[in-house]
Each structure stands twice: as structure tokens, then as C-alpha cells.
Amino acid sequence: MSDFDDDYDIRTFAAALSPESTDDRPRADDETAAWIRAEALGFHEAAPDDDAVGRTARRLVADGRVETGVHPRDPREGALDGDGLPVATFESFVESLNVGGGRLIDAHLISGVTVQPTHRRRGILRRMMTDDLARAKSAGLAVAALTASEGSIYRRFGFGVGVRERTIEVDPRRASGLLGDPEGGVELVSRDALIGLAPEVFARFHARTPGSIDRHEGAWNRLLGRERPDGTPDPAVRGAVHRDSAGTIDGYVAYRLEGENETHTLVVLDLVAATDDAYLGLWQLLLSVDLVTGVRFAGASQSDPIGHALVNGRALRVTHDEDHVWFRILDTVAALQARPWAADGVVTIAVGDSLGHAAGTFRVTSEGGSATVKRAAVRRADIELDVATLGSLWLGGVDPVTLAAAGLVRERRKGAVQTVRAMIAADRPVHSITHF
């Protein structure tokens, strides 16, 4: 069997623009352009032209993304790799993550992972992932995170689902409004106004929501209709804001109407609320739009309050439910000490990790809302789990009792799982509205 390095050349580089790039007409450098085209191929997107590649490169540069491309050492003439396109892509960048209690830490985000079908089963993904995680660990980052197109790939690398999301649909004709009347008021605004105010509102949401990941450059373009794939603004995007009783904007929604005549579906593109009143007030508006037979929101949390707020809760349907953010602990001590703790207690946790980054037995002592975590030399820990399961329960987004019932947490001291459950409870529902 040939050695991987004999067959492939792995190139890791910072996304960059060409010296010929201008503000009005951005251009990617050659290596970044090849990477962007290969990623588009991997996700079954239309082949981007030079203008689209340039716009994408500008966003990647703004985010400080690091790209990895895998190239055959013996490219075939006439094949795409013979034209300089990598046969696999991978990228990473750093954004802040709310771990609860308003505490923000840097998280290593992974995206753009593709392998061409002609090069599967050759260890390419494993090599890209293990190399990248090792770099992140060496850089002092405590956790990596990703969102996945497929749900069966990343647990083998130590990632566990820490945040789930739902798509909900509400029939406004059946809902009959809200049970209460939220404070403040709403008003319609232009798309341009949304673009200006959205980052500040999101920053407030981000600061109060455990599990939230800060937004990257491309997210704003897509969610607010600032830039469609052809580079033009989306004229169909509409917006509204919520103001609190003092007149301060504390929430906004961007949406689009789909359909015709009297059968429109109102599709929520982005709904960001820094207060509970803002969230309910924006929903009150959405349920009041004329000629709408359904309101669809793909960014709802597992514990979304709107179903309880409706006069007729049966007007709400959950139409989709899936994993959203996967966490991979790289430094167990740093990750556990970073987050707040809800109850005082002591528990020892044995963590298995085939890559070695998070492995060991740790004594967690929580007191006064914080924890001290130290490696422990004990014959048997109170609970045992692998690093992927640790990623799932880390922020309190998944109940350890549920994970124990699934066979993923093994209790070695009676009552230890309940102790952990009380200690790791989140101060607010764990949620993220950032895709990457």
C-alpha cells in the first residue's frame, strides 16, 4: 500500500485576494480561487464565475479563514485536479462562543469539508481533520465546533451534538394570537436599515445565549438579503424591528413572502431578539401579516417559547428537527473551567479520546458558580464517557440522564449522573442561530 504522503500533497494557507483585486471587483489569488471552485463542486453548487469567486474570497479573507486543499501528486491530464483544483477541501477560523453566564471564549470553527467521490476511502478526511485539530490544540483553543451536512461522519473524530434546532410552522388563522401582550412595539423597516442595525442586536443576543456562536461575514449577506449568489441585493426581503418601552431596538426579523394570491407562506430568514418581549413582539407581527397561511421559521430552539405563547398551541407544527452545532473538546480542563456551574458539587469524570487531546480522569469541584478542574488519580471515576459525549453535555444542551439512558454515560457511583445534571444546568436554553 502506498504512503499517503507519496500520493497526496496537503496545502494549508490563508485565504487571500489577488494583487489585482479592487473594492468594486474583488479577485481571489490562484490558490484561493481553486479552493473555492473545488468546495462549490463538493457541495453540488453551480460552477462560480470569477466575480462570484472574488466575492467569496473577500468574505473568507474578512473572516481570517485558513484553507486546506489536498492535491494528487500525479494529477491526470484532463481531470479537474489536472487543472489545479484540489480533490478535497477543509477550512477553519475562530469566532467567539457563549459558554453561559455571558462568558465568551474563542472557538475553532470547521467548515468547507469536501472530498471528491473519486478519492474516498483513502484517509483524506482523517488526515485533514487530525492535522487541523492538532493545530487548534497547539494554538491553545479549548474547543472545536462544526455544523454537518451529514450526521454520521464526525463522531468518530470526537464531535458530539451540543445544540439542536427545529423548523416550526404556525398557521396564523388557527393560532388566534398570543396569550399575553409583550411590552414595546414593532415597526417595518427597509432592508438597508436592517443591515445597519443587525450586528448590534445580534451582539446582545449572543451575549445572553449559551451555545451562540458569533456570525461570520457571509451570514449577514445571506440572511439579510444583502447579496444573492449573483452579487445583487434581494428585493424580496422585508424587515421589522422591535423597540422596548424606552424606544431602544432590541430585536429584528428579516422575512420573505412566497406564493401567490391568498396562499402566501411567510418565510423567516433571520429572527434575532435580545429580550423575551422582543421575541414575542416580533412573532405577534408575523402572525398579523395579511394573506398569509403559514409562518415558517427554521431557526427555532428545542425549547422555543412560541408554542406556549399562542392562544391555540395546536397551530404550531414541528416540521424538521436535527443536529445543529457539534462540539469537540480539545482541552478538558480549560473547557470545563470556562463555563459557569449551576450547583455546588464534586464529581470525577473519566474521558476517553482516541486522539488523546481530552483524555484522562478529572475531578470537577464547583462552588459559587465556577469550577476547579484537576486531573485525578482514582481507581474508578464517578462517571465514564467518551469525548464526543462530553461535547454533547458540556454546555448543558443535552441532559446527561438522557445520555446515560442512551448508553453513552456510564454511572459508576450511584447518583453521580443526577449530580452532574444539577451542576451543568444552563442559565438559559442552549441555542445557536449561526450556520457555518
Q: What is the CATH number of the domain that holds 343?
A: 3.30.1050.10
pLDDT for 38 beyond 50 = yes
What's the order of all strands across the beta sheet hosting 143-146?
A: 8-14, 66-72, 88-100, 103-115, 143-146, 316-329, 160-170, 292-300, 264-273, 249-258, 238-243, 185-189
Q: Which of 91, 87, 68 is nearest to 10 (CA)?
A: 68
Do 251 and 336 belong to one domain?
no
Q: Confidence band (pLDDT; 50, 70, 90) for 75? A: confident
pLDDT for 93 beyond 80 = yes
Do 307 and 395 belong to one domain?
no
**H/E element holding 138?**
helix 124-138
In a domain, 374, yes or no: yes
Q: Which of 274, 291, 323 is the last residue of a domain?
A: 323
* DSSP β-bridge partners for residue 239: 189, 254
Look at residue 31 and give its three-state secondary structure: helix
Do 171 and 312 belong to one domain?
yes
pLDDT in tens, 184-197: 999 999 999 999 99
Do 348 and 281 belong to one domain?
no
Q: Which of 219, 216, 222 is nearest to 95 (CA)?
A: 216
pLDDT in tens, 105-158: 999 999 999 999 999 999 999 999 999 999 999 999 999 999 999 999 999 999
Q: What pLDDT is attached to residue 2?
A: 58
In a domain, 100, yes or no: yes
Q: How far apart are CA 180 and CA 359, in angstroms?
A: 49
pLDDT for 230 beyond 90 = no
Q: How far apart are CA 11 and CA 17, in angstroms?
A: 17
In a domain, 352, yes or no: yes
Do 395 and 257 belong to one domain?
no
Contact (Cβ atoms closer than 8 angstroms) between residue 191 and residue 233: yes
Q: Confidence band (pLDDT; 50, 70, 90) for 36? A: very high
pLDDT for 95 beyond 60 = yes
pLDDT in tens, 277-335: 999 999 999 999 999 999 999 999 999 999 999 999 999 999 999 999 999 999 999 99
Question: Average pLDDT in the 367-391 region?
Answer: 97
In a domain, 146, yes or no: no
Do 29 and 74 belong to one domain?
yes
CATH number at residue 254: 3.40.630.30
Question: Average pLDDT in the 413-428 region?
Answer: 97
In a domain, 153, yes or no: no
In a domain, 281, yes or no: yes
Please report the sign of the dihedral spanned by the C-alpha atoms of residue 388, residue 390, residue 393, residue 395: negative
pLDDT in tens, 142-157: 999 999 999 999 999 9
Contact (Cβ atoms closer than 8 angstroms) between residue 239 and residue 190: yes
Do 170 and 302 belong to one domain?
yes
Question: DSSP readout, 272-289?
Answer: EESSHHHHHHHHHHHTT-
Q: Which of 48, 62, 49, 47 is nearest to 17 (CA)?
A: 62
In a domain, 86, yes or no: yes
Which range marks the domain in which residue 364 is found? 332-424
In a domain, 148, yes or no: no
Place of cell 388557527: 174
Q: What pLDDT is attached to residue 1?
A: 43
Place of cell 451534538: 161
* DSSP β-bridge partners for residue 335: none
Contact (Cβ atoms closer than 8 angstroms) between residue 27 and residue 18: yes
Do 197 and 295 belong to one domain?
yes
Give the whole-number percent of the chain exceeding pLDDT 90. 92
Q: Which of 124, 141, 158 is the last residue of a domain?
A: 141
Do 251 and 365 belong to one domain?
no
Please report the sign of the dihedral spanned by the C-alpha atoms of residue 56, residue 59, residue 60, residue 61: positive
CA distances from 103 to 43, 204, 272, 370 (A): 34, 13, 19, 11
Look at residue 404 and give its three-state secondary structure: helix
Q: How far apart are CA 320 and CA 165, in angstroms?
A: 8
Q: Confidence band (pLDDT; 50, 70, 90) for 223? A: very high
How does DSSP classify residue 315?
G
What count of Cα atoms within 13 Å lies in the side-chain half-sphere of residue 412?
A: 12
CA distances from 146 to 151, 329, 412 (A): 11, 12, 31
pLDDT for 103 beyond 80 = yes
How does DSSP classify residue 28?
B
- Residues 6+ away with beta carbon under 8 Å from 418: 401
Do 298 and 381 belong to one domain?
no
Question: How high is the mean pLDDT of the chain?
Answer: 96
Contact (Cβ atoms closer than 8 angstroms) between residue 352 and residue 386: yes
How does DSSP classify residue 230?
T
- Residues 6+ away with beta carbon under 8 Å from 111: 65, 91, 92, 93, 146, 147, 436
Do 179 and 302 belong to one domain?
yes
Total number of domains constituting the chain: 3
Do 307 and 374 belong to one domain?
no
- Residues 6+ away with beta carbon under 8 Å from 129: 90, 110, 113, 157
Place of cell 494554538: 139
Q: How far apart are CA 322 and CA 89, in angstroms?
A: 25
